[in-house]
Amino acid sequence: MKFSAQSKAFALLLSVGLVAGCSSTGGPTEDGEYGSDVGAVDQEGGSTVYGGDDQGGVSSSAMTEEERMAAREQAEQAALREVTVFYFDFDTAEIKPEARDVLVAHARYLANNPGQNVRLEGHADERGSKEYNLALGERRANAVQRFLIVNGASRGQLETVSYGEEKPAVMGSSESAWAQNRRVELVFE
């Protein structure tokens, strides 16, 4: 079973989150007792994080279901935005279906942050002439640009550039290397 780079990145992000969530300090506090930075569950069923006495902490009982859903959605969008490289099939500038949700997350982020700019760098593999590959990299960058604009980003936030075959991600003349070189990279400035 093949997994895309996006799936691997998402799995890695979830794994890191799980490890970080399961870690604890485990050391003694100033008074020699072992403590925790998470308070016990209160009578209403909520818990307080970082404080224990509801002074400056975040209480889960104070969040409404809508706030929890919004926070979850925001975290999911942030995780999607971690992916900044989008791959293309041979000799095409068509955005793959698995990249669409990630690009929509980037477009929403740009729409909500009008001061943020991004450079779209188009690339091609080594097959074809230098001129053809520059044009293909440009078509790929322009395809991503159009997609972002349609989904809420401003044209003024986006800059496209094509490197053609000049900046390969992977050296080599195999299908695996070529597949990694057919890409558009989002570089936030």
pLDDT recorded at residue 1: 46
Phi/psi at 184 (nearest 5 deg)? Answer: -125, 130
pTM metric for this prediction: 0.65
Beta strands in 15-153 (DSSP E): 48-49, 58-59, 85-87, 118-123
Q: Pick the more confident residue, 169 or 24.
A: 169
Q: At what angle do helices 97-112 and 130-150 cross, to 10 degrees?
A: 60
**With bands split at pLDDT 50, 70 and 90, how would you rate the model's confidence at 40?**
very low
Q: Which fold has domain 78-188?
A: 60s Ribosomal Protein L30; Chain: A; (3.30.1330)
Give the pLDDT confidence score for residue 4 in this predicted structure: 61
As a whole number, mean pLDDT of residues 61-87 equals: 86
DSSP code for 61: G
Residue scoring higher pLDDT (5 or 37): 5
Helices (H) then strands (E): counts for the chain: 5, 6
> What is the predicted pLDDT for the residue at 47?
46
Where exactly are the structural domains of the chain? 28-62, 78-188
pLDDT at residue 35 tops 60: no
User: What's the rounded Cα separation, in Å, for the pair 133 and 29?
Assistant: 61
